[in-house]
Amino acid sequence: MTRIIGLTGGIGSGKTTIANHFKTLGIPVYIADDEARKIMQTSVVIDAIKKTFGETLFEGEVLKRDKLAQIVFNDPEKLQQLNEIVHPEVKRHFKQWLLEHKAFPIVVYEAAILFESGSYKDFDVIITVTAPLESRIQRVMTRDKTSREQVLGRINSQWTDEQRVSKSDYVIENIEIENAKRETENILKILRIKQNEY
């Protein structure tokens, strides 16, 4: 039986770096945000977004993602509407992915809003990646070429580290990347031992 590890953390925490480290350790990883991006280009989702948010977000059939981001990150109700369109499709896609990886004893599902979406209930183990707030802000500003205010808006639309940690089985502190990678390897050792006990 494959054990599914939910990997999460706030924006800029470095959870994708940790997810990629799991990959180097031979663990299949499903990056929900990447898959959601692809799914948002499917006709079913495009039609639903047009119906909910209007045609002005599109150039032809191409979604203006930055415009949509501006709308949803400043309006929790609109964010909820978008999640209700995209999340069921991601969930369906992940089920298919899981069937393709059923030979693996452990897989990882990485997502920013594991708790906010309620999908954390679907996983056997939850790992949260944390990092100091200022580090997170600087990382996202550099990565997304965006302003401090916009980053803080996105951080404030997510759960706090305290909320995530309180519902997690393991926490990886991503202050210094080599230490964070070591913590990842230690957690994987524990999970493999537990897997063998099942």
- Per-residue pLDDT tens over the stretch 60-82: 878 888 889 888 877 889 988 99
The reply, when asked if residue 189 is annotated as ligand binding, is no
Q: Give the side-chain half-sphere CA count within 13 A for 148.
A: 4
Confidence at residue 63, expressed as pLDDT on a 0 to 100 scale:
87
Q: What is the pTM of this model?
A: 0.90
CA 128 vs CA 58, 79, 110, 159, 180: distances in Å: 35, 22, 10, 12, 12
- Per-residue pLDDT tens over the stretch 10-57: 999 999 999 999 999 999 999 999 999 999 989 999 999 999 998 888
The reply, when asked if residue 43 is annotated as ligand binding, is no
Q: Are 137 and 13 in contact (CB under 8 A)?
A: no
The reply, when asked if residue 12 is annotated as ligand binding, is yes
Domain boundaries, the chain: 3-40+93-193
Confidence at residue 70, expressed as pLDDT on a 0 to 100 scale:
83
Average pLDDT value for the chain: 92
The reply, when asked if residue 56 is annotated as ligand binding, is no
- Per-residue pLDDT tens over the stretch 79-109: 889 989 999 999 999 999 999 999 999 999 9
The reply, when asked if residue 51 is annotated as ligand binding, is no
pLDDT level of residue 198 (50, 70, 90 thresholds): low
Q: Are 32 and 111 in contact (CB under 8 A)?
A: yes
Of 59, 56, 50, 105, which is closest to residue 82 (Cα–Cα)?
Answer: 50
Confidence at residue 147, expressed as pLDDT on a 0 to 100 scale:
92
The reply, when asked if residue 118 is annotated as ligand binding, is no
CATH 3.40.50.300 at 3-40+93-193, yes or no: yes
Of 107, 120, 108, 134, which is closest to residue 164 (Cα–Cα)?
Answer: 120
Of 90, 117, 86, 116, which is closest to residue 31 (Cα–Cα)?
Answer: 90
Mean pLDDT of 163-176: 96
